Amino acid sequence: MAERASEPQASAQAPAALERPPLASIGVRFAVVAFLIALDLWSKSAVFEWLQSRPPPEGMVYDAHGHHRYPVVGEWFGFMLSWNPGMAWGFDKLPTWLLVSGRCGAVAFLAWLVARAPRGWGAMPTALVLILAGAAGNLYDNLFMAPRRAGAKFGEVRDFLDVYFTGFDWHFPTFNVADACITVGAVFLILASLLTPSRRSDRPST
């Protein structure tokens, strides 16, 4: 009888752990999203304006691959201007209109998830906030930056963070703050999925 009486209490406690976030928590989440978007857009504008100044800033060098970059930390990390018309890693096989439409849909869906993600999901809301901010930052470039190529209808994403592994003679694909947010958010999302305990109620077998 004691075991049966405890079942309603356990089931009543389960929804509490996954209750919807209060408006204050939702506001904080979107405030962080806005801050990260602003950081991404400011860093792009500041670095691009600086490196495109005439004359260029002192310290600009050409590396062994002919990249014109500004070393920040030795040879392995620096700033280099890059315009990406496609996705991450230089993947540009999709039509631009399809890519931008997909980003618009992803931003809308992620915003809905950020507003609805229940409390008690561990790092999941943080992951969604990071991914939303990164997706929105890159989408801004597509929608509001002037196209650089003839006939293009959308702007290209501005990248400037450049990592060069001299030991392997290899440049990591140039990225930006938005890309970093998406990458870190994706890692958090995977870890949260693996580490968040199951919400199944532990009912005694009959």
pLDDT tens-digit series, residues 136-168: 999 999 999 999 888 889 999 999 999 998 778
Predicted local distance difference test score (pLDDT) of residue 32:
98
Predicted local distance difference test score (pLDDT) of residue 198:
55
Predicted local distance difference test score (pLDDT) of residue 103:
93
pLDDT less than 70: residues of the chain:
1-18, 87-93, 196-206
Predicted local distance difference test score (pLDDT) of residue 149:
85
Predicted local distance difference test score (pLDDT) of residue 8:
47
Does residue 55 have a cis bond before it (omega within 30 degrees)? yes
Predicted local distance difference test score (pLDDT) of residue 12:
45
Concerning whether 159 is annotated as a catalytic residue, the answer is yes
Predicted local distance difference test score (pLDDT) of residue 19:
78
pTM: 0.83
- The catalytic position among 40, 141, 162, 179 is 179
- The catalytic position among 40, 141, 159, 162 is 159
Q: 3-state SS string over the chain? A: CHHHHHHHHHHHHHHHHCCCCCHHHHHHHHHHHHHHHHHHHHHHHHHHHHHCCCCCCCCCEECCCCCEEEEEECCCEEEEEEEECCCHHHCCCCCHHHHHHHHHHHHHHHHHHHHHCCCCCCCHHHHHHHHHHHHHHHHHHHHHCCCCCCCCCCCCEEEEEEEEECCCCEEEEEECHHHHHHHHHHHHHHHHHHHCCCCCCCCCCC
Concerning whether 141 is annotated as a catalytic residue, the answer is no
